[in-house]
Structure 1
């Protein structure tokens, strides 16, 4: 019984302790379920492309966040500032930079773990700008304009005005228009319009609002020919022009030719003209324009407006290029561009279908456009004094070509097709590097003059024998060692120049040159003349200066028409042939710088002699018979060993008598 009482006491004690502990524990606290997104902002301090803070609108019912940002804002790099319920959290985190170009879901999580999703809709506000910022007519887009035109925009009145040159075609003008960003314009930029009356342009902003502009284009008054001349005068204040620009009678102005009240000719030569203004186009009746030896550095493209021009000379200026519009001069017959600094010629040169003469000499041309071959009426072509290594491929198409000047270039040959130029009568190709000629040159049946001096020729093609019309042949300063056989039967040849070559002998075939008037063999190595030289019965001038002749054939006396004979600077010695003194028409005889010890008394038989030169020989005396030469006006015997001169000679009526002081008249 005692045991049970103890057990009950123990149980009661445990119960009491347990009850006491339960009374000390607090009541349980519930966690917050608040999960609202209270504010959503884009602060300018956190977003460089914002000028002011933007507060988004939060629709709690639809759980959306919306905001409209200024035009131009970059949505891809925005940093929001977010305020949410206390004890809640948000993802993505506050102040994380995000790309808002697409919707983003922000998840707000309450303390108790519950969530709310908010969806963003961030957009850019539509622009209301609707202005025309620039309105231009570019010359590149408008063929009737020589310069671009910038229109004046009156934003308050919503008008756009411009004045274009008098000749502008208003019905086909193409404007270039710049408008506000994100706006559109109607009619569109670069769209051709008829501006002969007012045109309305409507600019529509991005937000669909509109502005209307009235475009009014007017034309200048057409300048008169007098206005054009005054423009030239004023553009050249340092010129030598003496025009009285206050006078209305332009026919009195030097260099101006007026016919039927129209300026048909303008000739300004050596007048220090440095500028040709665009107003030149208003001299539309010009037929002849000569601007020779001036200081022009450029030609305006308006030159192409002078469609009545027949002759244009810009010789002797400082031009380096030409406008393509030069090809518009459809009536041009003669174009002279020599003595400039042209580096190129526009291919439009081929459009000058009436051109008969083209002068391009003394420039810096290295090539000529092949279009030159289209000038089927061209008769004269001067390309001399340039840097051409080849002739243009089209040159052989110039069927009417009569004269070609290609001197002082860097040519090494002539084109094979040159033989097709059947009307060619002159080729001037001196001072080049030509070492050979094409066989086809023999096809030039009308060729009269061939000038090939100062080249590297040593032979001629056999076909040269076919040039039956040739009368002048210049081959001086080349590399010939023998007289070219190919020309020995050209009986129409009247002049041959083979001076300054390496010729050692003359063959008998020279006798075939029956009509030769002039033969120049100066500065060669000829030691003897063939007797056949005497068969050149029409020869008037024979020049053998600076050779190695020691004697002359007696047949030289058969040159019955010889008027001038140059034998100076040879090695003549002994007795001169009697035939020499039978030259009945000889007027000049030069025997200076030889080794002659005596002069035949027969010298007095040459009654026609006017000039006799025997300087620098070994003469000890002069024959008295010289006094018989009644037509003699010039007599020179200086540099001999003569001590006395017959008085009959001293008393002759000579214009010039040149002797040593030691030679005393008897």
Structure 2
């Protein structure tokens, strides 16, 4: 312990002397922050993860240039109030603590925050004030106790990634379809029974993970999404049937489809696209994704040929008889 404390003091002294913009005090078994921290006004990156911190002193409000703060894997039971003074903060890591709620007043003080990691906590509710994080691009709240997602999340137009894996969600708000830049959405291992109508709003979505839920069917228009990765194993999906009006082009944009380890079953459409089948065989995606689908389509065409041949044979027999 004495050695750790000496290393901690040495790091602080070094930062004071050199005016280093980054200070790493992770894994030092620190239980409190010394007041001298308030003198490190030039610090930009501060790493205090993997310690035993239960609070932060108000003296830290002097760190007005701080853009990245890592408080992961400590023993915080609440988000330290002093964080509301870090208006320049871009990245905030609070994973693996004991946080149960998000104070609205702290959220309102972080207008430039772009990344928020709250994984492995005890959060049940995300307040409507989350919309105050107007610059937020990535939010991750995995392994918590979330029961619902606030509709206000749909107002955060900068969001590109949302991760709510392993919570207690039963539904998602339709407002999530209003996010114009959303590319990655992780909702695995919740209690979702359906996705709301309006999936066409996800024009930029590339990765969707809904594995381990209670879904039985995807909403109308889902096949038109231009996804690159889709994970949906562990659900009770009703198998899709071959339909005449589907978008084969969008279906073939998928790179990965996971469905309980079995061959993927998808709907296809636009008969004019079938004529381009041979070109698709050489695509990068096709080689490892839709081999089973190819066989399925091939068998359909083979069946049609057999029926056609049988019809021709019957016609020839009739003609011979009447000739």
Q: TM-score, normalised by structure 2?
A: 0.77
Conserved 8 A contact 2:4-2:28: no
Give the number of the structure with larger relative contact order, counting CA–CA contacts within 8 Å between residues 6 or more apart.
2
Instruction: Tell me whether 1:430 sits opposite 2:195 in the alignment.
Output: no
1:457 maps to: 192
Q: Provide the rounded CA distance (Å) in 2 between the counterparts of 1:520 and 1:485.
A: 20
Instruction: Tell me whether 1:406 sits opposite 2:141 in the alignment.
Output: yes
Conserved 8 A contact 1:361-1:384: yes
Q: CA deviation at 1:368?
A: 2.1
2:126 maps to: 391
Distance 1:353 1:567, change over 3 A: same
2:64 maps to: 330
Conserved 8 A contact 1:284-1:308: no
Conserved 8 A contact 1:452-1:475: yes
Q: Provide the rounded CA distance (Å) in 1 between the counterparts of 2:208 and 2:34.
A: 43
Q: Provide the rounded CA distance (Å) in 2 between the counterparts of 1:422 and 1:505.
A: 34
Structure with the higher fraction of residues in helix conformation? 2
Structure 1 counterpart of 2:52, from 313, 318, 334: 318
Distance 1:277 1:284, change over 3 A: closer
Q: CA deviation at 1:413?
A: 1.3
Structure 2 counterparts to residues 37-436 of structure 1, below 5 A: 237-239=2-4, 282-283=16-17, 285-370=19-104, 371-436=106-171
Q: Provide the rounded CA distance (Å) in 2 between the counterparts of 1:486 and 1:462.
A: 8
Conserved 8 A contact 1:481-1:501: yes
Q: CA deviation at 1:342?
A: 1.2
Conserved 8 A contact 2:77-2:97: yes
2:288 maps to: 564
Structure 2 counterpart of 1:446, from 177, 181, 202: 181
Structure 1 counterpart of 2:268, from 529, 532, 539: 532
Distance 1:302 1:392, change over 3 A: farther
Q: Provide the rounded CA distance (Å) in 2 between the counterparts of 1:577 and 1:488.
A: 18
Distance 1:387 1:531, change over 3 A: closer
Q: How many corresponding residue pairs?
A: 286
Q: CA deviation at 1:465?
A: 1.8
Structure with the higher fraction of residues in strand conformation? 1
5+ long unaligned stretches in structure 2: 300-323
5+ long unaligned stretches in structure 1: 1-235, 242-267, 538-554, 569-575, 581-666
Conserved 8 A contact 2:157-2:181: yes
1:392-430 per-position Cα deviation (integer Å, ceiling 9, x unaligned): 443111111111111111111111111110011000111
What's the RMSD between the two structures over aligned residues?
3.3
1:622-658 per-position Cα deviation (integer Å, ceiling 9, x unaligned): xxxxxxxxxxxxxxxxxxxxxxxxxxxxxxxxxxxxx
Structure 1 counterpart of 2:203, from 460, 468, 491: 468
Q: TM-score, normalised by structure 1?
A: 0.39
2:312 maps to: none
Q: CA deviation at 1:577?
A: 6.5
